Structure 1
């Protein structure tokens, strides 16, 4: 890569899940001389979703912007792209995961994410799903987050304990960094 390889773009692709789709997209990225810095894949229902953060020089980023729409139509994908810049992480004192489970109840995830927002804590990663257990539909969620230096982690945990009782969920905090 050249000295101008600091250009970045976020690419999102959604379409029917099928073997080879990841290979097609990663080959396109490679052919356009972009590099995949970060990526996530999820299957939601019958739909494949792929989010990638790419970097490259200006011509590589322009090439992917030009070539992707045609390739997406060929592959039956809905795509979206947005240029971005390198993420500048804020100062934090620790990183954690929160895993919680309980009976699937509408609004639980919304209340948990509102709790984080009200606590001025950004969520870095979130995965949630539901599953059957005995005669119940259960939910599980895992969030990854960083505690800003000005947030009292002990008070945060105490407050979450209260929320967990209200929402009737079991949870585990794990320090990861």
Structure 2
């Protein structure tokens, strides 16, 4: 197998949410002989966002790169693509899910992500939103974290406990892999 046998491409499409977009994009990927190895969809306001990680040989990836801009214009989508390579999980002690909730306050997510960055922890996914409860706006956030092998897990937990107390959020940290 050559180095070009399994190429990877990150594809992002953004546009007005409407029925059939996912079908059109996944059909294009299939027609180009690529495989979707990971994907995410989010509706933000009235906008649809679709992110896919594709794999295929050099010719298949090139077909997607050449056909997606035309299809994107037909569908009224802003599209972006970037070639990438497989992610190595060898440098991590495990994946953890961090969920926190509390009264919505400006800067909370920024402070949490800064704490995570200062500990050289990788954020694999992040989802946050707000909701009204008891006439107050609350926030919730869920992050998937890859903890590096050199981290002191107990120290990380103690320091995050202190941060959560300062931010007045409740949280759960649990190992998922």
Aligned length: 176
In the alignment, structure 1 residue 130 sits paired with structure 2 residue 130 = yes
Report the alpha carbon displacement of residue 123 of structure 1 after superposing the two structures with TM. 0.9
Distance in 2 between residues matched to 1:7 and 1:126, nearest whole Å: 26
In the alignment, structure 1 residue 56 sits paired with structure 2 residue 45 = no
Report the alpha carbon displacement of residue 57 of structure 1 after superposing the two structures with TM. 1.2
In the alignment, structure 1 residue 29 sits paired with structure 2 residue 26 = no
Query: Is there any run of 5+ residues in structure 1 with no aligned partner, and where?
Result: none
Number of the residue aligned with 1:148: 148
In the alignment, structure 1 residue 67 sits paired with structure 2 residue 67 = yes
Distance in 2 between residues matched to 1:115 and 1:90, nearest whole Å: 23
DSSP-derived class of the 2:72 partner: helix
Contact 1:15–1:77 under 8 Å retained in 2: yes
Number of the residue aligned with 1:17: 17
Contact 1:5–1:55 under 8 Å retained in 2: no
Q: What does the per-residue CA deviation read over 1:3-37, in whole Å, with 9 as the maximum and x for residues that have no partner?
A: 64311110000001111110010001001111111
Number of the residue aligned with 1:173: 173
Query: Is there any run of 5+ residues in structure 2 with no aligned partner, and where?
Result: none
Number of the residue aligned with 1:42: 42
Q: RMSD between aligned alpha carbons?
A: 1.2
Q: TM-score, normalised by structure 2?
A: 0.95
Distance in 2 between residues matched to 1:6 and 1:70, nearest whole Å: 24
